[in-house]
Structure 1
Amino acid sequence: MQTLVICIDRDNDLGEKAKLETPIVGREANIQAAAALGIADPEDSDTNTIFGGIRILDELRAKGIDAEIVSFAGDKNVGVISDQKIAEQLETFLNTHDVQRAIFVSDGAEDETLVPIVQSRIKIDSVKRIVVMQSENLESTYYILKHAFSDPKISQTFFVPLGLAFLIYAIFLLAQYPEGAVVGIFAAVGLYMLYRGFGLDDLVALEKERLWDAFLEQKMVFISYTAALLTILVATAYGAMEVWELYSAEGVWYHGTLTLVSVFINASVWWYAGALLLANLGKIFDLRMEEKPIYKNISISLFIIATGLLFWGASTYILAAASLSEGITNNATLALQYFVYSVIVAILIALVGIKYSVSNQASENGNPERGRRKKKLA
């Protein structure tokens, strides 16, 4: 095959709307797929993308060029997951077909972000964007807004913060505490903006996909992750109750923000550490069942314990200095000693984890240091 015409459907409209599996190979199969998608959603631009690819295919064949058309689809969670699926489909296709070059066909700039991914696997001669000509009525403001808000990517960005704000305000009104609504709204919207700004939505979608696969494959990591998530919820609730008890007594002006944060950390740090250890334990169990190396996960467990010690020691000293600790840690001097000891023990635990990981990695790679010595002796 000399030339491959590649049509890209990054958000998997072919699968979600037309219920088709990709890749779709061949002229007739793509005509049927475009017709099925057009019937399912006449306004979907991917229909025109496939028809545009078919026209390019006909032009190439009319010139005597050996060409074929194939349509790849990603996932409704546009981003890492969808791009990985398209890359996997492309690699599988190229492994079974001898293709020299390709023509990339898309319906806009979003799909064209995949050009570097495709280009890293096959030479691209041309990139063709299919633009649909519309009438003036369709270009009206109402039509643009209607279709923009029906797009999940835009609607989630616009409606979720508004929905959170209205919901939090209603909850505070029911609790007869409207003064706290402003703080709650700013906190929730701020967290959501950080969540989207750092691109955590792609990471969460990817982990959700992996968790679902683990459930279908009956892996221990599904149970351990679920237990870890529930433990994190309990830890957050427990820490928040401890902070609220102190805040409602005297207020933030009396104790200070650092003290309230230290109360939350001191009350919940080992809950969070336990949750992370639970999640990692499930991974270790599955790796052992698959007879794969587990030294990296054991090192991660040691680092979790070391980090927990550091946060516990620091928060314990701050609370002791503020005369909020009970028992033997109420003495600030003794609490400072605990903090110093926790730092030393945390460093030792981290060094053990590093040593364990490095030694096992060296043995797994065939002990390269020993190989270097043999070369020197030779």
Structure 2
Amino acid sequence: MTTLVLCVDRSNDIGRKAGVPTPVVGWEAVRSLVTDVGLADPEDSNVNCLLEALRVARDLRDEHEDSVVAVVSGASETLVGADRSLAAQVDELVAEYEPESAIVVVDSAGDERVVPVIESRLRVDSVDRVVVRQAHDIESTYYLLKQFLADEELRSTVLVPLGATLLLMPLLLTRFSPEIALAGLGSVLGAVLLYKGLAIDQLLAESPDRVRDALYSGQVSIVTYVVAAGLTLVGAFLGALSVTPQANAGTGATLISTMQFVYHAVPWLALAALTASAGRLLDELIGADGVSRQYMNLPFGVVALGLVVRGFAGWFLQREGILADAVLFGWTVSAQQRLALFIVGGIFVSAIGVRVAATMSESETLEDAVEQ
């Protein structure tokens, strides 16, 4: 029975610092790698992870059990690429040494997330996570703070919002009550954290390049997106104009005003979404890969959703007497009948979209089968 003792480095710190390709296999090779990584960065926790892998392999050898110690790393700039690189290296080790089980050694929660990838290829008997013990005293705290302040990204993410908050606090307290000042500061700080946490800054930084690439590649969607944005503004404008002041203020008046806005804005918003999805669909049709099922079903889903939302908004307004009863083929339609018609219409349109997408998928499958 051969056991594979696998040291996992998902972020490829070992490969970058030691300058060696992975996988690294064998007792002597891994022990030499410990020296290279330790000399490159003595503070790196991967040194302890490598030593733990050697210790586990030694214990298995003392128990007269065959073992192979190896190091794999994610040699890619993206997480998906890193996981695929790790999977390829594990496949290579399994094909060459044919182990029956594995003991995975990791030093962080990020490395531990690739355990399911290894389990899909080899039975994992144990996951050994290395935790480095540190002296929790004033001196170690000082050096941790020093390293934190030396990291430019952490400084801009944490210290800049906190500093701006502390500067604004006395100004707001002199002009407003403490409750309003603290609420405003909390909102600003929360917005900044969400801005960084959701990577909106990266999205905005990449937007010019994406727009330029879309224009150069001749994508129709870039035009339809602009048209959709204009239709969205028109819908919001007409929805705001349709709101009439209510005699009695309160929750009911707010709900009625909201329903008025929704009822008049939804057709334009649905048209905007339909325009954007149509542009994306045209790009897929022009492309060589064909149209995927979700893009084919998207326009029908947009129309169905718009019908259902408008139906519910119209039910509220007609029930309150703000919207007059509709007349259909000489019959007066009540609020409940109006809502039922819109819901049935939405379900019908959605069903048509599902059927069209299914038919397109079947046609593509038959074409692929004929080509093969």
TM category, shorter: 0.5 to 0.7
CA shift for structure 1 position 304 = 1.4
Give the 3 Å change call, closer, same or farther, for CA 222–289 of structure 1 in structure 2: closer
Aligned residue for 2:370?
A: none
1:88 aligns with 2:88: no
User: Secondary structure, in 3 states, of the residue corresponding to 1:69?
Assistant: strand
The answer as to whether partners of 1:50 and 1:71 remain within 8 angstroms in 2 is no
Aligned residue for 1:50?
A: 50
Give the 3 Å change call, closer, same or farther, for CA 349–46 of structure 1 in structure 2: same
Q: Aligned equivalents of 1:75 and 1:259: distance in 2?
A: 54
Aligned residue for 1:299?
A: 297
Aligned residue for 1:123?
A: 123
Q: Aligned equivalents of 2:21 and 2:353: distance in 1?
A: 44
Aligned residue for 2:329?
A: none
Q: Deviation string for 1:24-49 (max 9, x for gaps)?
A: 53465895598458746x54423422
The answer as to whether partners of 2:53 and 2:69 remain within 8 angstroms in 1 is no
Q: Aligned equivalents of 1:322 and 1:95: distance in 2?
A: 67
Q: Which amino acid aligns with 2:68?
A: A
Moved more, 351-360 or 229-238: 229-238
Q: Aligned equivalents of 1:95 and 1:107: distance in 2?
A: 22
Q: Aligned equivalents of 2:245 and 2:19: distance in 1?
A: 57
Q: Aligned equivalents of 1:59 and 1:226: distance in 2?
A: 65
Q: Which amino acid aligns with 2:354?
A: I
Aligned residue for 1:353?
A: 353
Please give the residue correspondences for 1:64-79 in structure 2 after superposition, counting only pairs within 5 Å.
65=66, 67-73=68-74
Aligned residue for 1:102?
A: 102
Ranges in structure 1 where 5+ consecutive residues have no aligned partner: 196-200, 324-329, 368-378
Q: Aligned equivalents of 1:146 and 1:185: distance in 2?
A: 28
* CA RMSD, 1 decimal: 6.1
Q: Which amino acid aligns with 2:13?
A: L
Give the 3 Å change call, closer, same or farther, for CA 142–23 of structure 1 in structure 2: same
The answer as to whether partners of 2:227 and 2:272 remain within 8 angstroms in 1 is no
Give the 3 Å change call, closer, same or farther, for CA 248–19 of structure 1 in structure 2: farther
The answer as to whether partners of 1:231 and 1:275 remain within 8 angstroms in 2 is yes
Give the 3 Å change call, closer, same or farther, for CA 49–312 of structure 1 in structure 2: same
Q: Which amino acid aligns with 2:253?
A: G
The answer as to whether partners of 1:25 and 1:70 remain within 8 angstroms in 2 is yes
The answer as to whether partners of 2:4 and 2:102 remain within 8 angstroms in 1 is yes
CA shift for structure 1 position 280 = 6.9
The answer as to whether partners of 1:227 and 1:278 remain within 8 angstroms in 2 is yes
1:333 aligns with 2:317: no
Aligned residue for 1:373?
A: none
Aligned residue for 1:7?
A: 7
The answer as to whether partners of 1:38 and 1:47 remain within 8 angstroms in 2 is no
CA shift for structure 1 position 333 = 1.3
The answer as to whether partners of 1:287 and 1:294 remain within 8 angstroms in 2 is no
Please give the residue correspondences for 1:105-184 in structure 2 after superposition, counting only pairs within 5 Å.
105-109=105-109, 111-137=111-137, 166=165
TM-score calculated relative to the size of structure 2: 0.60
Identity in percent: 21
Count residues with an aligned counterpart: 338
Ranges in structure 2 where 5+ consecutive residues have no aligned partner: 327-332, 368-372
Aligned residue for 2:256?
A: 259
Give the 3 Å change call, closer, same or farther, for CA 127–305 of structure 1 in structure 2: same
The answer as to whether partners of 1:3 and 1:65 remain within 8 angstroms in 2 is yes
Give the 3 Å change call, closer, same or farther, for CA 365–246 of structure 1 in structure 2: closer
Q: Aligned equivalents of 2:18 and 2:264: distance in 1?
A: 50
Larger Rg: 2
Q: Aligned equivalents of 1:95 and 1:56: distance in 2?
A: 22
User: Secondary structure, in 3 states, of the residue corresponding to 1:126?
Assistant: strand
Q: Aligned equivalents of 1:222 and 1:251: distance in 2?
A: 51
Aligned residue for 1:25?
A: 24
Q: Deviation string for 1:259-279 (max 9, x for gaps)?
A: 343355346544366347525
Moved more, 300-309 or 336-345: 336-345
Please give the residue correspondences for 1:157-306 in structure 2 after superposition, counting only pairs within 5 Å.
166=165, 224=221, 235=232, 239=236, 253=250, 256-266=253-263, 268-269=265-266, 270-271=268-269, 274-275=272-273, 278=276, 281-282=279-280, 285-286=283-284, 289-306=287-304
CA shift for structure 1 position 111 = 3.5
Q: Aligned equivalents of 1:146 and 1:241: distance in 2?
A: 56
TM-score calculated relative to the size of structure 1: 0.59
Q: Deviation string for 1:84-135 (max 9, x for gaps)?
A: 4454223322444414232201114553343333212212233222222322
Q: Aligned equivalents of 2:15 and 2:226: distance in 1?
A: 29
User: Secondary structure, in 3 states, of the residue corresponding to 2:250?
Assistant: helix
Q: Aligned equivalents of 1:221 and 1:180: distance in 2?
A: 50
Q: Which amino acid aligns with 2:324?
A: A
User: Secondary structure, in 3 states, of the residue corresponding to 1:256?
Assistant: helix
